[in-house]
Structure 1
Amino acid sequence: MYTALQCYGGVIVLNPNDNFIDLKMENEWLSLSTKEESSTVNSSWWIPKRCSSTSEEHTIYIWDNFISKSAAKNVAFIAHGYGGLVFLNLLIQRTWEVMNKVYSVALIDSMHHTLHQVKNNPQVQEWIQKHCREWVTNSKPLDRPIGSLVKVDCPTVSAGTEKYSLAPSSTLQAIFKYLKSTLKAKNTVTLSRSPIVTRSSKNKKRGNTC
């Protein structure tokens, strides 16, 4: 978190797995805060969270209400496991917004399935190949390329460990290095495409001739 704040200035941590509220505990907390007795039954009663009843709904809500409205022009995602599938769902649901605002995505042992989720959308498939990279648990050293049978998927490299639970910590420094390099490449392309203002171009704008 500290490294991300230092390098990028802002961080949003999503919690797409927290989708239900224990109504009994909620009412008990409210009764303590208001000093009133709780009238709930002893058994727990779990209800879906508003705007967060599923991982997909949670992520789209955070995108619509926070990320898309932020002043940040360069957004990167780090997604682990099912989070990769959820990000692809966001990409499909908010295609143009995501493609314009997100410059890079780092996936860790992702459960996404490009062929199944994206289907016949070559433009999105091309974006995934260009802007995403996946680190997978493997016996090879960190960042070594791993062959993939899915040609339309993103480049895949080793996480430097065979343990799923250790993959996020094992890949963190490599991921930050990747995000830094892709942001630098994006900014370089943006600068190269910017028109160079010369004295003659200024004169033309003013209606003057040399």
Structure 2
Amino acid sequence: CIQMALQAHHDVIVLNPNDNFMNLNMAKKWNSLLTQNIESSSPKMAQTESFFSLQHPPQCFPKRYSNTPEEHMAYIWDYFISKTEGKDVAFIVHGYGGLVFMDLLVRRKWEVMSKVYAVALIDSEHHVGHQLGSDVQLLAWVKHHCREWVTSPKPLDKPAASVLKNQFPMVSAGTEKYHLAPSSSLQSIFKYLQKALKAKTTINFSRMPIVTRSSTKKKQSA
């Protein structure tokens, strides 16, 4: 996915919303091992690791600004994505990532709606009704800027029925296996993103004022 994005001349940022805790014991252990010249393939090291795990249960602490997937997403948006010079941002989200994105959309409504031009969801766990409620603007935005690829016995890109009203287009990912859905639908997703970006660029260009000789004279006389 990253290689395809770079080949298409996109900049890439990878979020990690599932990494919410720090294991203090493991952090101390690996820092100690890094200062020593110990080969990672050593059987003795493997035995030490097992013994260490049994004698010292993990001490996990919430990561700052990433206690939850939703908090992580909001933090990355506020301090990285929203500060980028690029105005054309696209998201590819899988599973729970879809729910996390919808949470961001509600939290940062106007920022996200103005900066994100397309969202590709893969077997998303979001719920439009519960998360977006009856917000007409948000419902209209997701309908025109989101598309979901779902596990299905149908061929890739064939329409899939949506149970929810005001839902965005749903198509088959070309596989019935959840873990294969991202790779199976990747080519289709990038075609969708490319088409969406082209459409956005065309709309923006069509809205630009056309400078004519008469309009220039009026401006100067004013």
Normalising by structure 1, we get a TM-score of 0.93
Counterpart CA distance in 2 for 1:8 and 1:203 is 41
Counterpart CA distance in 2 for 1:134 and 1:141 is 14
Q: Over residues 40-85 of structure 1, what are the superposed CA-to-partner deviations in whole Å (9 max), with x where a residue is unaligned?
A: x822211111111111011111000100001110000000000000
Residue in structure 1 matched with residue 46 of structure 2 by the alignment: none
Aligned-residue offset at 1:153: 1.2
For residues 8 and 102 of structure 1, do their structure 2 counterparts lie closer, same or farther at Cα, with a shift above 3 Å needed? farther
Residue in structure 1 matched with residue 5 of structure 2 by the alignment: 4
Question: What is the 5 A alignment of 1:6-155?
Answer: 6-32=7-33, 42-155=56-169
Segments of structure 1 that go 5 or more residues without pairing to the other structure are 36-40
Residue in structure 2 matched with residue 38 of structure 1 by the alignment: none
Counterpart CA distance in 2 for 1:48 and 1:189 is 44
Runs (4+) of structure 1 moved beyond 6 Å? none
Counterpart CA distance in 1 for 2:174 and 2:93 is 17
Aligned-residue offset at 1:23: 0.4
Letter in 1 for 2:16: N
Q: Over residues 119-150 of structure 1, what are the superposed CA-to-partner deviations in whole Å (9 max), with x where a residue is unaligned?
A: 12111011000100000000111001112121
Correspondent of 2:171 among 151, 157, 171: 157
Letter in 2 for 1:5: L
Q: CA RMSD in A?
A: 1.4
Letter in 2 for 1:83: G
Q: Over residues 85-134 of structure 1, what are the superposed CA-to-partner deviations in whole Å (9 max), with x where a residue is unaligned?
A: 00000000000000000000000000000001111211101100010000
Counterpart CA distance in 2 for 1:32 and 1:149 is 53
Q: Over residues 172-198 of structure 1, what are the superposed CA-to-partner deviations in whole Å (9 max), with x where a residue is unaligned?
A: 000000000000000000111110011
- Percent of pairs identical after alignment? 60
Counterpart CA distance in 1 for 2:218 and 2:148 is 49
For residues 109 and 203 of structure 1, do their structure 2 counterparts lie closer, same or farther at Cα, with a shift above 3 Å needed? same
Letter in 2 for 1:177: K
Residue in structure 1 matched with residue 208 of structure 2 by the alignment: 194
Deviates more, 1:124-133 or 1:144-153: 144-153
Counterpart CA distance in 2 for 1:171 and 1:53 is 31
For residue 91 of structure 2, give the secondary structure of its aligned residue in structure 1.
Answer: strand
Letter in 2 for 1:12: I
Normalising by structure 2, we get a TM-score of 0.88
Counterpart CA distance in 1 for 2:182 and 2:149 is 9
